[in-house]
Each structure stands twice: as structure tokens, then as C-alpha cells.
Amino acid sequence: METRLTTDPEEAAACIRQGQLVAFPTETVYGLGASIDHPDAVAAIYQVKGRPQDNPMIVHVASVDEVPSVALRLSASARTLMRRFFPGPLTLVVPRTERVPRTVSAGLWTVGVRMPDHPLALAFLRACGSPVAAPSANLSGRPSPTSWEAVRDDLDGRIACILQGDGVRVGVESSVVDCTTDPPVLLRAGGVTLEAMRAAGVPVEPASAAHLAQGRSPGTRYRHYAPHARVRVVDGPAHAQAGPDAAYIGPTAPDGTFAAVERVTDADAYAHRLFAFFRECDRRGIQTIYCESIPEERVGRAVMDRIRRAAAGS
């Protein structure tokens, strides 16, 4: 299959309406979408990505008016979070309607819903005329793509179309919040911080080990975000081994000679650059990537989650 590249949201949406797969930009990372009204296309996403069948997908909507077509009911907390953070890097897990096929929800009674904060994504979703199920547009296990070129590296020849946008603004995925419990539970840290949700008056809690063990967040069972290189989480440059096969990313500039160094001034910059840096290191054949720890607050929570997961498998 030849993968078409386009900057036209109408052209990309026409593929979706025909039951094909389209990668599209959002403010977090690129997504790989299919219409929820084409269950076969949704099923094909699992094949193309090599994604485990029991990992549900997020449904993307063009407006809050579309939410009731996929969400059976919203708790008071879910409504507050939606009002405050849609559009934005936040996914709400809520009871699903019959319209959501089992291929999307992986058999769960819930669905994750999100409205991206990205003009091209919203133009595309509007033109699709139906909600769009989409995981991140990477091969399963690889770092999420933060540019259309990264999508092409993973999926060229396997999908109908890539909607080309600029590089992403956030760089890590949306926060996933389970709103079926009271208080709601953060299943995955992401672009909307725990602190911001609490400031909005919703007492979201981090997921406990027990919560995750119940299988509420299937995605957290799998290895993720991993470059080919080994990833080591370190407290600072003193704990990193410089060399021609090593790379360093973090707020502190290392002294030694590394093949690549990414100096990030704060947690937002770290999130923005992390996956792109992983992919750059792989292209250059780097063997070890040292990632400096940062405090687990605000977006730092998402950064630490991603680098720990990347390190866990290597």
C-alpha cells in the first residue's frame, strides 16, 4: 500500500470515511485513527501497530457536543474536568454507549474520550463526521511519534494516509483519568497535571497498585516508549558514563563527551523533547541513553513515568 502524505484535513477525512487508517497530529503526539463506525478498520489498527488486543483505544471527538454519542453518563467530576480541560491533553474514562464497538473498548464497559487541542486535528475530526478511535501512531512498544516523519518511519506502506502537521506542542500523551470511581483516579500521567485538576476542584488521586492490578488500565501492563538503546535513569551527570556510544538528556549539562546531549531547561521542555530524542539516538546507533531524574510534580510526573517505563525493558 502506498501511504499518501497530505496537509489537507478534508483529503485525510475522506480516507477515514472509506474505512481506511489515517495518522494525524494532535497537541500531544500523532494518533493513528479509524472511524468508530468501521469496526474492521479499528481492528486493523491492532494489526498495523502490533498492539495487544486487550488494550483499549481512546475515542477522539471534534467537540463536547459529540461526547454523549460515546459516553453513557458523566459524573460531576467528569463534567467539571471536561468543562475545564476540553479541548486539551486529557482523556476521560467513562461508561460507554452501544455506539462504541468492542474492538475500540477491548471488551471493557468504559471508553476513553478526548478532544485534542489542535486546529488541524479538529478540522480533520469535524470532516470525518464520526468519532475517531486512535492510539499513538507508533509501532507498539516504540516511542510515540512527535512528528509526521516519525510516523512515516514506523508506518510507511502500512496505512492509507498521513496528515502532515507541525511538530507537537506537548510531546507526551494525554493524562488518562478514570471517572467511574469517586474520587477519580489518574491511570496515566500526561499533559494535564494532577495539580491543575485539583486546582479545578476535582480531587483526582494517583493510581494505587491495587487499582492497576484490577486491570483498569490495560496499557500500563505493557513495555512502552522504548528506544532500541538501553535507557538508564540517573540522578545527575556524575552517574552517567560518557562515551561515543552514550547520550544524555536532562536539566544539568554533563562534562564528559557524549554522542548526543539534550539540555532541557524545565519539565515542559523535557516532555517536549523526550520521544524525539529517543528516536534521534536510535537513528545514530547510540547504545545507552542516560535520562536525568526530575521532581515528580506537574509534567515531571509524566516524564518520570515515561523514562522509567523505557528503562524497565532495557
The entry of ligand TXA, Mg ion, none that residue 75 binds, CB within 5 to 8 Å by partner kind: none
| Distance of alpha carbon 275 from alpha carbon 142, whole angstroms | 9
Complex with ligand TXA: residue 140 or 314, whichever CB lies closer: 140
Task: Report yes or no: 14 and 104 within 8 Å, Cβ to Cβ.
Answer: no
Residue 130 binds Mg ion, judged by CB under 5 A: no
Torsion angle (degrees, nearest 10) of CA 40, 41, 43, 44: 120
CA atoms within 13 A on the CB side of 130: 20
Beta-ladder partners of 71: 96
Task: Report yes or no: 28 and 88 within 8 Å, Cβ to Cβ.
Answer: no
Residue 25 binds ligand TXA, judged by CB under 6 A: no
**Which residue in 103, 136, 164, 193 binds ligand TXA (CB under 6 A)?**
136
| Binding region for ligand TXA (CB under 6 A) out of 23-31, 161-169, 193-201, 232-240 | 23-31
Q: 5 is written with which cell numbers? A: 502524505
Residue 136 binds Mg ion, judged by CB under 5 A: yes
Residue 193 binds Mg ion, judged by CB under 5 A: no
Cα 235 to the center of its chain, rounded Å: 26
Cα 172 to the center of its chain, rounded Å: 6
99 to 18, 70, 90: CA distances (angstroms): 18, 6, 22
Q: 67 is written with which cell numbers? A: 461526547
Residue 231 binds ligand TXA, judged by CB under 6 A: no
The entry of ligand TXA, Mg ion, none that residue 93 binds, CB within 5 to 8 Å by partner kind: ligand TXA
| Binding region for Mg ion (CB under 5 A) out of 88-96, 125-133, 135-143, 228-236 | 135-143
Q: How many residues sit in the footprint of ligand TXA (CB under 6 A)?
A: 29
Lay out the site mask for ligand TXA across 234-273 (x = CB under 6 A, - = otherwise): ----------------------------------------
Other Cβ atoms less than 10 A from the Cβ of 192: the count is 24
Binding residues vs ligand TXA (CB under 6 A): 26, 28-29, 31, 55-58, 89, 91, 93, 105, 108, 110-112, 114, 134-136, 173-174, 176, 187-188, 216-219
